[in-house]
Structure 1
């Protein structure tokens, strides 16, 4: 079963808020993250996704092979495998014919083995924060209370000092 992933980020575009365009590409079988739109390069002609980087959850096969897909024009690739479930998830282009130079050193993720999780949603709900505005009468009231507290603290401090003096004197004169 092939599912098309329609990512709205286009090459060279994006909003000023990075979270709006951020999506994570997950392995369809084990749900490990394989890449994200932060490394997006473009969408390939067959609908797959070209990225400049993938996560550490992707194993890059050390063996090089010639791609058998006609649209790859016999490019040299390394197979990409999900480390979680061992599924083949794409390829890394090592050598390409001249007309496919734009794919060289890029990772291609096969959309038929991916799920896509978008971090942004145009229909977000926010909690309404009930904030009481601080106005001039509130500030005056708080200033008065603060002055009273300082006076009370000062009086308590003086009382404690007097008690300490009396205790000190009584300890010297038994």
Structure 2
């Protein structure tokens, strides 16, 4: 996989209404994440908690993936990710014991993955990276939104300089007409007052 990971526009199936996504089987996500080709687009992806939908990171901080363990690695995450305090032993593979701390969602306190704080030499590439379990996160592909509001009819037109000039000209003409009518009204009132005074 490339430095940030390659993502196609169909990597993550989303409902795309505002920021909602739909959950999918982790095997589907795994196929999409780990079965990329060089021709795929490199569109940014936002990773979100699979339970409460808070954003936890994005593909711009991509650190790699582990197909066999259904994990993705990120170099940076959002403040919505809490790092556990208690380290515990974890067997990453047969005979490979590691010390890990849990990564949890700030919103719902779901466990999303882990940080390897101590690893054997073969797993040094994972140390101090944010490792998320694919089954515990969802994602949103930026630029994949397709819903648009319909135009309100053929009479709508963009506000261009020419259109603005036309509107200003119409306003000026209306203002001149109002001033002219006010002057005429004053003349009529003046004539009426003179007629009353003579009588």
The match for 1:32 among 54, 62, 87 is: 54
Change over 3 Å in CA distance of 1:96–1:65 after alignment to 2: same
The match for 2:65 among 34, 37, 43 is: 43
Determine the C-alpha separation between the residues in 2 that align with 1:84 and 1:40: 23
State whether residues 46 and 55 of structure 2, in contact with CA within 8 Å, keep that contact through their aligned partners in structure 1: no
Change over 3 Å in CA distance of 1:126–1:8 after alignment to 2: farther
Task: Give matches, 1:57-72, under 5 Å.
Answer: 57-70=80-93
The normalised TM-score by structure 1 is: 0.59
Asked if 1:101 corresponds to 2:124, the answer is yes
Other structure's SS at 2:67 match? coil
The match for 1:121 among 134, 140, 144 is: 144
State whether residues 49 and 105 of structure 2, in contact with CA within 8 Å, keep that contact through their aligned partners in structure 1: no
The list of structure 1 runs, each at least 4 consecutive aligned residues, that deviate by more than 3 angstroms after superposition, is: 7-10, 124-127
How far the C-alpha of 1:76 sits from its partner, in A, is 1.2
Determine the C-alpha separation between the residues in 2 that align with 1:72 and 1:81: 27
State whether residues 64 and 74 of structure 2, in contact with CA within 8 Å, keep that contact through their aligned partners in structure 1: yes
RMSD: 4.2
- Note the alpha carbon deviations across 1:104-137, whole angstroms, 9 max, x for none: 1101001111111111239x5889xx9x9xxxxx
List gaps (5 residues or longer) in structure 2: 1-23, 158-199
Determine the C-alpha separation between the residues in 1 that align with 2:48 and 2:95: 22
Change over 3 Å in CA distance of 1:78–1:31 after alignment to 2: same
Determine the C-alpha separation between the residues in 1 that align with 2:46 and 2:85: 28
The normalised TM-score by structure 2 is: 0.53
How far the C-alpha of 1:14 sits from its partner, in A, is 6.9
Change over 3 Å in CA distance of 1:72–1:92 after alignment to 2: farther
List gaps (5 residues or longer) in structure 1: 133-174
